[in-house]
Amino acid sequence: MQTEKKGEWLVITIPAFWEGQTIEQLLRSEVAVPKKMLHELRMEKGVLLNGDQIPWNHPVKKNDQLYLHCIKGEEYGVIPEDLNVDILYEDDHLLVVNKPVGMDTHPNDANGKQTVANGVAFHLQLSGIQTKIRHVHRLDRDTSGVILFAKHPLASALLDQALEKREIKRTYLALAEGMMRKKKGTITEPIGRDRHHPTRRRVSPAGQKAITHYEVSEINTKLHMTLVKLNLDTGRTHQIRVHLSHLGHPLVGDQLYGGKNTYLKHQALHASSIDFIHPITKGKISVEAPTPSWLRKFFNEKTR
């Protein structure tokens, strides 16, 4: 889909296969604008066709230009801070950041600092972009790798929908203690809160559905570690950590879930890549984060 950002407006050039549909049909089905945002656009007269206010029941033609007022200036919501964030991918609608170990995704309040969100705000500020910082998903403080951010409300809403529908694929690399004999498998144990610990989760029959797919990439027999590649069908808190611990192979460095290995001072988990359909252009996006040095030193195999 051909799109362009013009100030606070998203401009979509109508392709031939949309011809004949009404403006409202396009907004609802093709662009998939959420109901609340549709109402706001209608009330604020935030939809134009070829620069003019046109009734929403008007059919469009090939090469018409549909304007959506959805890229408005907003407060960041966090304090911009120069943290030299590693931007892996960026366009007018979203960006993907490579989060380091030991940094939170976002602060607990508007005055918090030293998080990925603070660094993203500073990056956008340098580019002259004023928008609320919207992370689509999060990573634990001591997990490294890819995090997706939306640059405006429409992109955020559409990415949230994709995440809920499990249309955003995230791949992880983990170092598990011990030598996993089964080369691949799926863990389907439900996960709930641990009543005896404020932050820990556990496998529980009364917990939420949780599905983790894993595949062994390499085994370090000398150090008794297994390099595992994982994909999730669900996004429960600490899901990989809980599921691998349940198998008897907690993550290296993960003391919260029974890790005994002290080679690392943090859990050995890295979000290595993310794949999704772009919410606006509808093109396929695939972004990889470099394998971090703390992981490379245990294995010689190329892990990306």
Residues 6+ positions from 137 with CB-CB distance below 8 Å: 147, 148, 163, 168, 170, 235
- What is the rounded CA–CA span in Å between residue 121 and residue 129? 9
Q: Which of 156, 175, 284, 293 is nearest to 229 (CA)?
A: 175
- What is the rounded CA–CA span in Å between residue 268 and residue 142? 8
Query: CB count, 10 Å around CB of 71?
Result: 21
Q: DSSP class of residue 100?
A: P
- What is the rounded CA–CA span in Å between residue 5 and residue 93? 9
Q: Which of 89, 94, 146 is nearest to 116 (CA)?
A: 146
| Size of the chain in residues | 304
- What is the rounded CA–CA span in Å between residue 292 and residue 253? 15
Q: Which of 275, 212, 264 is nearest to 238 (CA)?
A: 212
259 is written with which tokens?
Answer: 């890790």
Q: Give me the sign of the Cα torsion angle 23, 28, 32, 38.
A: positive
Query: Of the residues 140, 160, 254, 275, which is catalytic?
Result: 140
For residue 271, the cross-strand partners are 145, 172
Listed in sequence order, the DSSP H helices in 114-192 are 116-126, 153-164
Judge whether 194 counts as a catalytic residue.
Answer: no
- What is the rounded CA–CA span in Å between residue 24 and residue 33? 10
- 176 burial class (0-12, 13-18, 19+ CB within 10 angstroms)? buried
Q: Report the catalytic residues.
A: 140
